[in-house]
Amino acid sequence: MPDIFSTTGTPYADGKILKHTAGGVGVITFNNPDKRNAMSLEMWEGFGEALTALRDDDTVRVVILRGAGGKAFVSGADISQFERVRHNAAASEEYAKRSAAQRALLADYPKPTIACIQGFCLGGGMQVAMLADIRLASHGSQFGIPAAKLGIAYGYDGLRHLVSLVGPAWARLLMYTGMRIDSAEALRIGLVERLFPEGELWGETMTIAETIAQNAPLAIKAAKITIAQVLKDESRRDMEAIKAIGNACMDSEDFREGRQAFMEKRKPQFRGR
């Protein structure tokens, strides 16, 4: 195991969610391996708490999401809870509200996020992965949204992201059949950005995260904000926000540092201001 996991980390949801930090990288681990990291409501809420803590930690510049146990990223919502908390429309609305509030934190996250996927990534796990900025996966991972096999409607936000990643036709094929696809197919249709052998996934993910952590935070924020606006309908686009972050970059100490470091042929030290 890499060093970061030799420390205990901060537990949430009775340890079913773990938070680590090291060298500017924050890591959230879905840690319910006996159930292939299926998400209970308590885990959704713990996930939200961990996201908030890493968002507010100024030393953290990028956040990785991963599953424990090597078999799954997240196998979806915990179906064993459904009889109690999601058995009809009214109960489902309350359930959706509580879990959606945590996903909204990820959707509006101010720092870059990476989903590191090894094994099954299903249902609500796909929702989490699709909300991350970047998806890296190991060969042998499997992806799917089996909502039609359970009788669940998969919601607007999840499908919006699915359609924007893979297009409407693949979204329909996946949703109508509830089929699982392998990592090669996921890569081909744009559901994941890069694939690695299992033994290399974590190291490669950390390398990318560390690269992001060492780059200029305001420039990354500008890219994140601008890309999010590109994805909105033109009528809802906040061009002022793009201009404001652009100006913040050009007036920043980091831009001065970036220029000087280039001229002096040294590595820049960025501070996010």
- By CB under 6 A, the residues from 11 to 50 that bind ligand COA are 35-36, 38
Residues 77-136 that bind ligand COA (CB under 6 A): 77-80, 120, 122-124
Q: Which range of residues in 76-84, 97-105, 110-118, 245-253 is near ligand COA by CB under 6 A?
A: 76-84
Q: Which two tokens stand for residue 21?
A: 């930090």
Number of residues located near ligand COA, criterion CB under 6 A? 17
Q: Which of residues 141-160 bind ligand COA (CB under 6 A)?
A: 146, 150, 152
CA distances from 4 to 21, 154, 157 (A): 7, 35, 32
Query: d(Cα 76, Cα 159) in Å, to the nearest integer?
Result: 15
User: What's the min distance (Å) between Cβ of 183 and ligand COA?
Assistant: 15
Examine residue 76 and tell whether it contacts ligand COA (CB under 6 A): yes
Task: Give the binding range for ligand COA (CB under 6 A) out of 70-78, 128-136, 160-168, 213-221.
Answer: 70-78
- 25-30 vs 17-22, strand pairing mode: antiparallel
Residue 52 C-beta: closest distance to ligand COA, Å: 24
Question: Per the structure block, which two tokens stand in for 16?
Answer: 């079913």
Q: How far is CA 205 from the centre of its chain?
A: 13
- SS3 string of 10-47? EEEHHHCEEEEEECCEEEEEECCHHHCCCECHHHHHHH
- For ligand COA, give the closer residue by CB, 112 or 146: 146
CA distance 64 to 87: 33
Binding-site ranges for ligand COA (CB under 6 A)? 35-36, 38, 71, 75-80, 120, 122-124, 146, 150, 152
